């Protein structure tokens, strides 16, 4: 069995300012696991991100995703003689099912 990483974060993005802009607090949870196969460690995981409220710009609520789910897959290679190297792919999907980012990749 390889490494298992579990975690969570909570972030405060500043609240509301004097012109009505508001940045909502948010949180993330994540779980990743890997399996050591010689010098390679393939890994997979999920991250879940939540904005507790919607942001506002000049008093108007922004149309943004409040819940995103991001699957993760990667592979790491390590050696006694060189630094470790890794390659990973992470794609986020929103609660509404539409992708984030201009090409659907975050």
Residue 27's pLDDT is 92
The per-residue pLDDT for range 20-47, each reduced to its tens digit, is 888 889 999 999 899 888 888 898 999 9
Residue 99 lies in a domain: no
Total number of domains in the chain: 1
Residue 102 lies in a domain: no
Predicted TM-score (pTM) of this structure: 0.62
Residue 34 lies in a domain: yes
State mean pLDDT over 66-90: 80
Alpha carbon of residue 83 to chain centroid: 25
Look at residue 106 and tell me whether its pLDDT is greater than 50. Answer: no
Residue 23 lies in a domain: yes
Beta-carbon contacts of 101 under 8 Å, excluding residues fewer than 6 positions away, are 92
Owning domain of residue 67: 4-94
Residue 30 lies in a domain: yes
* Interatomic CA distance for residues 83 and 99, integer angstroms: 34
Residue 101 lies in a domain: no
User: Looking at 2-105, which runs of residues are DSSP E strands?
Assistant: 4-11, 15-16, 22-23, 26-34, 40-51, 56-57, 60-61, 67-77, 85-90, 93-94
The two tokens of residue 58 are 């000049």
């Amino acid at each position: 069995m390889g490494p298992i990483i579990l975690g969570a974060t909570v972030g405060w993005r500043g609240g509301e300012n004097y012109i009505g802009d508001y940045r909502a607090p948010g949180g993330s949870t994540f779980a990743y696991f890997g399996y050591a196969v010689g010098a390679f460690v393939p890994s997979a995981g999920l991250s879940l991100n939540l904005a507790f409220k919607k942001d506002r710009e000049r008093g108007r609520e922004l149309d943004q995703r409040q819940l995103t789910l991001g699957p993760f897959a990667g592979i790491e290679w390590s050696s006694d003689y060189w630094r470790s190297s890794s390659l990973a792919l992470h794609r986020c999907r929103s609660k509404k099912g539409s992708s984030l980012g201009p090409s659907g990749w975050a």
